[in-house]
Amino acid sequence: MARKTEQVEVRMVAEYLKAQYSKFPHITNQPLGLVDESLLAKYGYSKGMGIQRPRRPIVDAIVILPNYLVMVEAKVWSVVNGLGKLPLYKSLVPLTPELKEYKPREVLMELVVGWTNPNLEVMARDVGVTIRVYCPDWLKEKVDTMQNYWTPQYRIAREDKLRNRELLGLE
Amino acid sequence: MVLQNNVILQNGIPTRLHFTDHRIEKRTITEPATGRQVLRSVLALDVDQLDGRPVVAILSTMAEKLAGQFAPYLTDKSYVNFNFTITQLGDGFTRTWSVKVTPR
């Protein structure tokens, strides 16, 4: 059975940016790090950038404040992954040609999550990341689904739903 | 004023747009991988400025990855207060879009 993906974090980032930073320019899905000019010369700009894409990590958003750049990563599920990425991504900001015009600015890091816990806060403080909880109703539903995913009740209900879909010939 | 039906995004080239209106349309398209005709929802945005020049054009997308970035601006049509600079990155299933949102 085909599974449909849902761009939960795309919507989460876009809403968060509009709610918090609508007065400032912001860039979503910003690739970070050096660009290999020799590949651009050999393959042309489009293909050259495409070849380099796997080597250039993408941060969910960069907010351009007058004196700071705020790197924003949003996570609904793998929150610790998001926390781990941000300090590593920060090291690439000074090397990113697309962000050259915004130097020199200090880089701040924000992890936007649907839920938090004391341990996450401790880890975030230790690596200089600010945790922002953004959880509108539509996201709360997703977070609850995730937190209940492995409970027996949810598993039974899910199996029942999938069985009914098969019976009715729905995708 | 430039008359142009559709805005075509090019890989790696930033395109600055200003939107005036939008709608969700149903369109029948042919899936490139299977050749099947399928009905899809398309977000169509009316464009009145392209890279600072006045135009009459439409940006349309079926990609949730791109449409999702405009989602918060659709309900109240607040996109009229911003410029959107879109850079298309990559091809096929790995294609993504970097969008710079700038208040006007």
The token pair that represents A4 in the structure block: 């449909």
Q: What is the reported pLDDT for A149?
A: 80
Least confident range from A4-13, B24-33, B59-68: namely A4-13
Given a cut of 70, whether residue A43 has pLDDT beyond it is: yes
Provide, as residue numbers in chain B, all residues whose Cβ is less than 8 Å from the Cβ of A31: 89, 98
Q: How far apart are CA A141 and CA B103, in angstroms?
A: 31
Q: CA dist A141 to A127, A155, B61, Å?
A: 30, 16, 27
Task: Give me the residues paired with residue A64 across strands.
Answer: A69
**Packed helices A118-126 and A79-90: angle between N→C axes, nearest 10 degrees:** 10
Provide, as residue numbers in chain B, all residues whose Cβ is less than 8 Å from the Cβ of A15: 71-72
The interface pTM score, or ipTM, of the predicted complex is: 0.87
Quick one: average pLDDT of A43-70? 86
Give yes or no for a contact between A61 and A27, defined as CB atoms under 8 angstroms apart.
yes
Q: Give the distance from residue A97's alpha carbon to the nearest chain B alpha carbon, in angstroms.
A: 13
Beta carbons of B68 and A14 less than 8 Å apart:
yes
Q: What is the reported pLDDT for A145?
A: 79
CATH topology for the A8-32+60-135 domain? Trna Endonuclease; Chain: A, domain 1 (3.40.1350)
Task: Give me the residues paired with residue B103 across strands.
Answer: B82
Domain spans in chain B, listed from the N-terminal domain onward: 2-103
Q: How far apart are CA A59 and CA A118, in angstroms?
A: 25
A26–B contact, CB cutoff 8 A? yes
The token pair that represents B50 in the structure block: 């392209």
Residues of chain B whose C-beta is under 8 A from some C-beta in A? 10-13, 64-65, 68-73, 78, 89-91, 94, 96-103
Given a cut of 50, whether residue A1 has pLDDT beyond it is: no
Q: Give the distance from residue B6's alpha carbon to the nearest chain A alpha carbon, in angstroms.
A: 21
Eight-state DSSP code of residue A91: T
- Of B14, B102, B28, B19, the C-alpha closest to B59 is B19
Beta carbons of B69 and A10 less than 8 Å apart:
yes
How many Cα atoms occupy the beta-carbon half-sphere of A134 within 13 Å?
25
Taking the model in full, what pTM does it have? 0.85
